[in-house]
Structure 1
Amino acid sequence: MTDLTVSADLLRPTAAAPSVPNRDKIQETAKAFEATFISQMLKPMFDGLSTDGLFGGGQAEATWRSFMLDEMAKTTVASGGIGLSGPVMSEMLKMQEGRR
């Protein structure tokens, strides 16, 4: 699981362009942000579904649904996402470079 707060120290202004490891970390954080956003957008779609019935998962399905949504979101991001991580990464890089 990626912690979205990890790269907060990477956002301090610096004179030089970000190093490759920092850029990779920023990209990872931007993708984690997009996955979290997608997961939160998917959540209301599943709130009204009943887990009872012949093929329902019962209480276990309701309990583990948030994990399923997180994995669906991560898979969506890995497949190209919805285009949110690119602009987020650009803004993070601008903040790191100290310009607006």
Structure 2
Amino acid sequence: MMIDTTLGASAASTPKLGASAGSGGDRNADWQTLQKKAVEFEAVYLSEMLKPMFEGLKTDEQFGGGEGEDMWRSMQVQEYGSAIAKSGGVGLAAPVAKALLQAQEAREGSPR
């Protein structure tokens, strides 16, 4: 199994909560950004969990199949995951956002 290391690099370059310009930063906007990223994470997770459901589907040779349908199906599964996450998901986004905030606070040494 390959591990994607781009997430770690992306997290290291992400601005810290409250680190935006101005006096003290806009913590509410930063928290909303963190929650949005947590929902995006849940969407990716759900898409990966949905993939096996669609891998074994057979298509009618007369009207479908081939590389084009495989590509379309991949995008369809991504959108399903995104739609599920945006409509409340399975409850993964909130704990992810909380864990990200706690990790950042521990690294900074300043509680929210």
Q: Identify whether the pair has TM-score above 0.5, normalized to the shorter chain.
A: yes
Aligned partner of 1:77 in structure 2 is 85
If you compute each CA radius of gyration, which structure gives the higher value, 1 or 2?
2
Q: Count the aligned residue pairs.
A: 95
Q: Unpaired segments of 5 or more residues in structure 2?
A: 1-6
Q: Taking structure 1 as reference, are residues 50 and 92 closer, same or farther at Cα in structure 2, changes over 3 Å only? A: same
State the TM-score, normalized to the length of structure 1. Answer: 0.76
Q: Which moved more, 1:33-42 or 1:20-29?
A: 20-29
Higher relative contact order (CA 8 A, sep 6+): 1
Task: List gaps (5 residues or longer) in structure 1.
Answer: none
Alignment map for 1:79-98 (pairs within 5 Å): 79-98=87-106
Question: Alignment identity in percent?
Answer: 37
Q: Residue in 1 aligned with 2:34?
A: 26
Q: Name the TM-score, length of structure 2 as normaliser.
A: 0.69
Letter in 2 for 1:58: G
1:9 aligns with 2:14: yes
Give 1:9 shift.
2.5
Residue 38 of structure 1 is matched in structure 2 by 46
Post-superposition shift, 1:82?
0.4
